[in-house]
Amino acid sequence: MSLSADGASHRNGTAVYFDGLSSRRRTVDLVLGDKLEIGEAGAAPVLWAYDDLRQVDGPAGMLRLSAMSAPPLARLEVRDTAFAAELASRCTRLGENRTDGRAVARIVGWSLAAVLSIVMVVLFAIPYAADRLAPLVPEGFERRLGEASEVQVKAIFGSRVCTNPAGQAAFTKMLTLLRASAGLDLAAVQSSVLDTPVPNAFALPGGKVYLFNGLLAKAQNPDEIAGVLAHELGHLKHRDNMRGLIYNGGTSFLIGLLFGDVTGSGALVFASRSLVTASHSREAEEGADSFAIDVMHKLGRSPKPMGELLFRVTGKEASNLSIMASHPLTEDRLKRMTAEDRPVSGPPLLTDKEWAALKGICGTAKNAPSGKK
Ligand SMILES: [Zn+2]
């Protein structure tokens, strides 16, 4: 304890502090400023507003506090009674929401039940659960996961986003047409072409679609690319990412969801990395193909060019890239797309000029069609 300049006593004190994130016990200095300042040597002080402070049960002779604005398990333990009294006098809502023993027992009971049920899910019902949990994941969480995944995308595939404005406009036009036809209300999401020679495309939770220039360079007409993008939108619509994540990510992801500890922890990094690198199940691939066929038909275009593009890229061999993931084999896929071929009845998705702009979006490909119709 010390005397401050204006003579008021008990403005400073010490306490034991648990930050609620780790179990480390810290000895901290407290200052009663506009807010309670919790200072630890070498770190910026943590500020707790007095109105946020709540007393929680502690041993006699100790004021044990939590704060509404802090992690639920954060605690501050003040033993100096004079300082504790000074601190308490500034807090107006110290006694609210105090939990008695029965409430604690109830919380513990529910937590155990929840953990037990998650364990049962993990052990016995993951595939079943994945199908049913994926639609329940809040969209806000999915969007955050998508944003985190972007970092992984750029780390793995390089970060150069192609920015040719005319090319980007053409890309956005195509995606908007596809999204409208697919009934996906995500037209505002900015999607990009990445300048990497890998022939690939994928969509992330939240709706962002990536097309790699390596695939664009091999494409001969807009319908080839449109079919691939429609396939990726199918994965989004079916929430295959979340399904796969729950299926593959299993325990830590579910438990993270259960305790709301996903954003702040390694779980998000883990989850986003597996999103970017994982391939989909055979069923998910076939479902996305069906979706793409449907979307192209609705636009009056044929899905066959998509099959032709993928066949051109991989031949009969399967590849481990996500769009060309080994299920189904590209040969089977081409057969299916060919069977779904229909005479074109809708307008072209892009004009020749827009297609040329899209092909040149990275400032590399120059093999756009020459003739104007
Ligand atoms: Zn796919």
The pLDDT of residue 38 is 93
Low-confidence winner among 175-184, 215-224, 361-370 (lowest mean pLDDT) = 361-370
Q: Say how many Å lie between the CA of residue 288 and the centre of ligand 1.
A: 6
- Is the pLDDT higher at 3 or at 357? 357
pLDDT band for position 222 (cuts 50, 70, 90): very high
Q: Say how many Å lie between the CA of residue 123 and the centre of ligand 1.
A: 27
Q: Say how many Å lie between the CA of residue 303 and the centre of ligand 1.
A: 14
Phi then psi dihedrals of residue 365, to 5 deg: -65, 135
Q: Say how many Å lie between the CA of residue 240 and the centre of ligand 1.
A: 9
pLDDT band for position 263 (cuts 50, 70, 90): very low
Q: Say how many Å lie between the CA of residue 279 and the centre of ligand 1.
A: 8
pLDDT tens, residue by residue, 273-324: 555 555 677 788 889 999 999 999 999 999 999 999 988 887 655 554 555 5
Q: Say how many Å lie between the CA of residue 167 and the centre of ligand 1.
A: 24
pLDDT tens, residue by residue, 340-350: 998 999 999 99
The pLDDT of residue 368 is 41
pLDDT tens, residue by residue, 319-328: 545 555 444 5
Question: Angle CA(331)–CA(333)–CA(334) in degrees, nearest 5?
Answer: 65
Question: Angle CA(181)–CA(277)–CA(361) in degrees, nearest 5?
Answer: 55
Is residue 4 pLDDT above 80, yes or no? no
pLDDT tens, residue by residue, 97-118: 655 566 667 777 777 777 667 6
Q: Say how many Å lie between the CA of residue 291 and the centre of ligand 1.
A: 11
Q: Say how many Å lie between the CA of residue 94 and the centre of ligand 1.
A: 55
**Omega prior to 72 cis, within 30 of 0:** no
- pTM to 2 decimals? 0.56
Give the separation between CA 217 and CA 359, rounded to whole angstroms.
7
> Average pLDDT for residues 10-30, to the nearest whole number?
88
Q: Say how many Å lie between the CA of residue 339 and the centre of ligand 1.
A: 19
Is residue 366 pLDDT above 50, yes or no? no
Nearest CA to 225 out of 243, 201, 242 is that of 201
Read off the tokens for 124. Answer: 């016995």
Give the separation between CA 211 and CA 323, rounded to whole angstroms.
10
DSSP, collapsed to helix, strand or coil, labels residue 163 as coil
Q: Say how many Å lie between the CA of residue 289 and the centre of ligand 1.
A: 8
Q: Say how many Å lie between the CA of residue 118 and the centre of ligand 1.
A: 29
Q: Say how many Å lie between the CA of residue 323 and the centre of ligand 1.
A: 5
Read off the tokens for 273. Answer: 């990395």
Q: Say how many Å lie between the CA of residue 231 and the centre of ligand 1.
A: 6
Give the separation between CA 303 and CA 285, rounded to whole angstroms.
15
User: In this structure, are residues 158 and 195 in contact, taking their beta carbons and an 8 Å threshold?
Assistant: yes
pLDDT band for position 185 (cuts 50, 70, 90): confident
In terms of DSSP bridges, do strands 209-212 and 192-194 run parallel, antiparallel, or are they unpaired? parallel
Residue 43 is classified by DSSP as S
